[in-house]
Structure 1
Amino acid sequence: MSAEGSTAAPKAKAPKAPKPAQAPKASQAKKEAASTGAVQIGIEYKKDVDFPKWYQQVVTRSEMLEYYDVSGCYILRPWAYRIWQEIQHWFDNEIQELGVENSYFPMFVPAKNLEKEKDHVEGFAAEVAWVTRAGSSELEEPLAVRPTSETVMYPYYAKWVRSHRDLPLRLNQWCNVVRWEFKNPQPFLRTREFLWQEGHTAFATKEEADSEVYQILDLYRQVYEDLLAVPVIKGIKSEKEKFAGGLYTTTIEGYIPTTGRGIQAATSHCLGQNFAKMFGISFEDPQGPLPSGEARPPLHAWQNSWGLTTRSLGVMIMVHGDDKGLVLPPRVASVQVVVIPCGINTKTSDEDKAAVDERINEIMKGFKKAGIRAKFDDRTTYSVGYKFNHWELRGVPVRLEVGPKDVKNNQALAARRDNGEKITVKQETLVQEIRDLLDTVQSDMFKRAQVTRDANIAHVEDWKDFVPALDDKKFCLIPWCEDSACEEEIKEKSARTGIATTEVQDEKAPSMGAKSLCIPLEQPQDKPIVAGETKCVSCGKNAKRWALFGRSY
């Protein structure tokens, strides 16, 4: 990515945003908001001081979402939904290139379907919402609202698959799901209804299924790293943490620096043949009859499922946001550049005002032609300072300031949202310089997040160092035996009890003990596990691989 356009900018002072303190003084921007009936802007809590309240204010005041009358359900406003659409567009193109087709299945699940797969149902039983009444009549059979769609789709996969020629069957749907068990929902992170895509595929061989699992996992990595500028770790879940009823689960894990917690960002599961056997997804053996003429037994399909949710937006906000609000990666921002007329006052001539408008309209045409998503903030009821605060809160990657002097000098002043740096750009190269600047912002945001994440992964080879590393808000990479009993023991031994915390809480991690996040696909090269010699940090048994543990959302 190019870093052109780094010329030092003149020391023009932009109006300061409101200081994010818990008891802020009224700023001019807030006074203007009150006088015009606008929603109050500005973040009153510091990210490192009161993270939950900071997060709550950022997601609402930036107009990402609105709270709804049903607890745990939220309204995704256009500012957030457009980001989800950018993710959808990119990912949908990629999976269609792989041969996956989109479809849609009903959201209601007959109880008898859920009962077919006990391990799967047990994993979701506490989360299932049920419909038992229609009007004044009780339903003959209760209907579950889908928590996921395996039991909705697979009876029809069994109907459609008869021969190996019907495989692979690779379907995806973009839809909503409902999971209702928890008591303390968090916007984007844990919501009772959320949007996602869920892919469900069936293959004739395990090799084909395995290949797709990792193809999809890497696409998820690209969504986070290339679109959202959030570094993730690819890995395999432990037996305890894998998808209920599946063969194995692969995952990408994110890191939230402010709390030191991990977060499961997306998963790609190999279901093996378990669901195929339960639902009868089988096909004739392509080898034909046995030499004796007897028919060979039918073969069961090998299946995968994989999903990415709107949780991704919450991860992006927590990783990049600052005390002024959102900081959006350019590739997903609905507005990449906001253009604001500056330096205009009561003494400015009508001729100069018209020249500024004409120049900005010319710039906007250039942006549109170049595919840069830009907005001209031509509101006359707000001051320049209010506009600066407004767009900083909403995280627009680049602000372009154009005034009478800039018109005369054939230039404009560009300000980066991510680091506040300002540069002067010449009119004749403005579009290309802004395009390069957006690329630079995207790259720099990812690099900063990656450096922070990497600095907070502790290689722990002695148990006495494990809990101190967790309390220092780090991940722990440990030699591990991969035993489920050991995993539970690590969680219990590392739990914090009786300690007050201001971190965002949820029912999935009530004790705050460390859980296994994943077994990284990329194992440390400088410290290989030596069979029979390297011992598990917790129980002392022979270690199999390095595993990543941490406190988690």
Structure 2
Amino acid sequence: MADAITPRAEDYSQWYLDVVRHAKLADYSPVRGCMIIRPNGYALWENMQRVLDGMFKETGHENAYFPVFIPESFLAREAAHVEGFAKECAVVTHSRLTATEDGRGLMPDPASKLEENLIVRPTSETIIWDTYSRWIQSWRDLPILINQWANVVRWEMRTRLFLRTMEFLWQEGHTAHATREEALEETLRILDIYTRFAEEYMAMPVLRGLKSESERFAGAVETYCIEALMQDGKALQAGTSHFLGQNFARAFNCQFQNKNNELEYVWSTSWGVSTRLIGALIMTHSDDQGLVLPPRLAPTQVVIVPIYRQDDERTAVLEAAERIARTLRDAGISVRLDAREGYRPGWKFNEHEVQGVPVRLALGPRDVRNHAVELARRDTREKETIPQEGLTERVRATLDAIQRNLFDRALAFREAHTTRVDTYDDFKAVLDEKGGFVLAHWDGTPETEARIKAETTATIRCIPLERDDTPGTDMITGKPSKGRVVFARAY
């Protein structure tokens, strides 16, 4: 399996697809642009979901569910929103099918045309704010802190598994507040949650910042984001948190009576991350042998492979392997005992390596006699024989070491591929020869931003929250700049 994976240096895009396929994360759907998430990929998403869901609930959020269909008229109420999503919408126009005249096919039944077209949700702000306008009358009804785990559809023309598909899974939070300050606080609270999840669980260092006006979410006043750097030097937007101001409240006439008995519009936020995080995880950590997973999210943290040649060895080896597996599970470690018949140990080693299992334990007759086990790390591919006594503590320490090493390795890569430039020639040279994040002065105008994108395909990934505010001059126009922003080519 690892031999079938294209080396990153040879063809990074094909390497990525090979890892997805051979690690059994996803497969192509009969519907162009959609994907089938296989059990390995879905188990990874479930772990992400479990951690994030806990973080949301710890901060007072509740889960709900809103319909997948949105009346077409809803989308039209917020001008920037409809402009941003109109070209990506899937539209339902009829409610049933009928046979064609020749009886050989199907067609929409003309008699079933809907009175109003329905949009398959690309995002849920409109239907949620129509609902909130009925739920909110007084300041006592606020805040509303709701999240939903759902699927959305955006009619993408160029797709890639996990990174950009027509249908994908995500969470979307939608909150309503009495004041601007509360809504801004919520926006940044979620950004902190996304940052902590990315760095502490995904072992993926991120930059936090504001999007430029042209990169904002359609209908937002401000969009905050976390940006990660992939191994090919391209950036990936890993999560966004939007301060929506009162835009959607005004569009859906959502007002409340404040403590002074005055009517005012509600303040709002929305925020989300999606299954593209799985793509980010692959491209941050994996290697030419396959998938590499951080232990805190790995569906299987430890795999045990028993090794024996003869039937009289089988019982003793399996009993020892099962005892070790029980001990590790009792300690809260996710374990798989791979006792499948008909597969050689080397084949199993290769499969679990390709699938990114952080720790492999191998156990043979000699190990049983010596009360030992062979431990192999996926991140460094180092292996050693260690005593079974104290194994749980050793495995736990190894998992922690792998988690730290993956983060440190990704951070070192990012730092080595972050470059400050002052001239446009240097800017273009760095993008072409090195890639990564490029810190450069920008005059703040959409015209300069658009020119850079057209000439280099690089975009402003964010205006960093921890920004170097040293004034400078734009590398193209020479106009004053308030500080450096982060440019990169991106997914």
Structure 1 length normalisation: TM-score? 0.84
User: Which residue matches 1:486?
Assistant: 448
- Mapped to 1, the partners of 2:27 and 2:118 lie a distance apart of 29
Moved over 4 A (4+): none
Query: How many residue pairs are counted as aligned between the two chains?
Result: 476
Aligned-CA RMSD value: 1.3
Residue 88 (structure 1) aligns with: 49
**Counterpart-to-counterpart distance in 2, 1:257 and 1:368:** 34
Matches within 5 A, 1:317-328: 317-328=282-293
Cα deviation, residue 491, structure 1: 1.4
C-alpha deviation, 1:44, in angstroms: 3.6
**One-letter code of the match for 2:234?**
R
Match in the other structure for 2:118 = 143
Residue in structure 1 matched with residue 147 of structure 2 by the alignment = 172
CA deviation profile, 1:364-419 (whole Å, cap 9, x unmatched)? 11011011111111112011111111111111111101111111211111001111
Q: Kindly state the Cα deviation for residue 171 of structure 1 after the two structures are TM-superposed.
A: 0.8
8 Å contact from structure 1 (residues 469, 475) kept in 2: no
Matched, 1:345 2:309: yes
Q: Verify the 8 A CA contact 1:257 1:473 in the aligned structure 2.
A: no
> Is residue 289–residue 354 contact of structure 2 (8 Å, CA) maintained in 1?
yes
* Preserved contact between residue 27 and residue 36 of structure 2 (Cα < 8 Å): yes
Give the unaligned 5+ runs of structure 1: 1-16, 21-42, 289-295, 495-512
Matched, 1:211 2:172: no
Give the 3-state SS of the residue equivalent to 1:70 in structure 2: coil
Conservation of the 8 A alpha-carbon contact between 2:151 and 2:170: yes
Are the equivalent residues in 1 in contact too, given 2:229–2:436 (CA < 8 A)?
no
Which residue of structure 1 lines up, in the alignment, with residue 470 of structure 2?
529
1:197 matched residue in structure 2: 171
Q: Does 1:262 align with 2:227?
A: no
Contact 2:379 2:406 in 1 (8 A): yes
Equivalent residues in 2 for 1:333-412 (5 A)? 333-342=298-307, 344-346=308-310, 350=312, 352-412=313-373
Task: Give 1:170 deviation, angstroms.
Answer: 1.1
1:100-123 Cα deviation digits (max 9, x unpaired): 111000010101111111210100
Structure 1 residue 423 displacement after superposition: 2.6
Select which of 219, 222, 232 maps to 2:206.
Answer: 232
Match of 1:516 in 2: 460
Cα deviation code 1:492-545 (max 9, x no counterpart)? 232xxxxxxxxxxxxxxxxxx111100111124xxx413xxx212222111012
Moved more, 165-174 or 277-286: 277-286
1:405-420 to structure 2, matched below 5 A, reads: 405-420=366-381
Contact 1:479 1:529 in 2 (8 A): no
Q: What is aligned with 1:468?
A: 429
Q: Which residue of 1 is the match for residue 104 of structure 2?
A: none
Match of 1:72, SS state, is: coil
Tell me which residue corresponds to 2:100.
Answer: none
Report SS of the residue matched to 2:129: helix
State which drifts further: 535-544 or 159-168: 535-544
- Structure 1 counterpart SS, 2:215: coil
How much does 1:88 deviate?
A: 1.1
**Separation (CA, whole Å) in 1 of partners of 2:427 and 2:5:** 35
Whether the aligned pair in 1 keeps the contact of 2:235 and 2:436 (CA below 8 Å) is no
Greater alpha carbon shift after TM alignment, 479-488 vs 142-151: 479-488
TM-score, normalization: structure 2?
0.95
Aligned to 1:452: 413
Secondary structure (helix, strand or coil) at the match of 1:359 reads helix
Aligned equivalent of 2:488: 550
**Identity rate, percent:** 44
Equivalent residue, structure 1, for 2:33: 72
Give the deviation of 1:265 after TM superposition: 0.6
Asked if residue 223 in structure 1 is aligned to residue 197 in structure 2, the reply is: yes
Correspondence for 1:163: 138
Cα deviation 1:160-191 (Å, max 9, x = unaligned): 110011110111100000000x3221000000
Contact 1:60 1:66 in 2 (8 A): yes
Name the SS of the counterpart of 1:280 in structure 2.
coil
Q: Pick one of 272, 275, 287 that aligns with 1:307.
A: 272
- Matched position secondary structure for 2:114: strand
Bigger proportion of residues as strand: 2
Distance in 1 separating the partners of 2:467 and 2:210 = 12
Q: In structure 2, what is the Cα distance between the partners aligned to 1:237 and 1:460?
A: 20
2:105 counterpart residue number: none
1:269-322 CA-partner distances (Å, limit 9, x unpaired): 00001111111111113113xxxxxxx4x1111100000100000111112111
Q: How far apart in 2 are the matches of 1:273 and 1:376?
A: 54
Q: Displacement, 1:63?
A: 0.8
> Is the contact made by 2:173 and 2:271 (CA closer than 8 Å) also made in structure 1?
yes
Q: Deviations over 1:32-60 (max 9, x none)?
A: xxxxxxxxxxx341122112222112111
The separation in 1 between residues aligned to 2:303 and 2:258, in whole angstroms, is 61
Q: Distance in 1 between matches of 2:353 and 2:455?
A: 43
Q: Structure 2: which amino acid aligns with 1:478? A: A
Q: Which amino acid aligns with 2:344?
A: S
Distance 1:336 1:62 in 2: 15
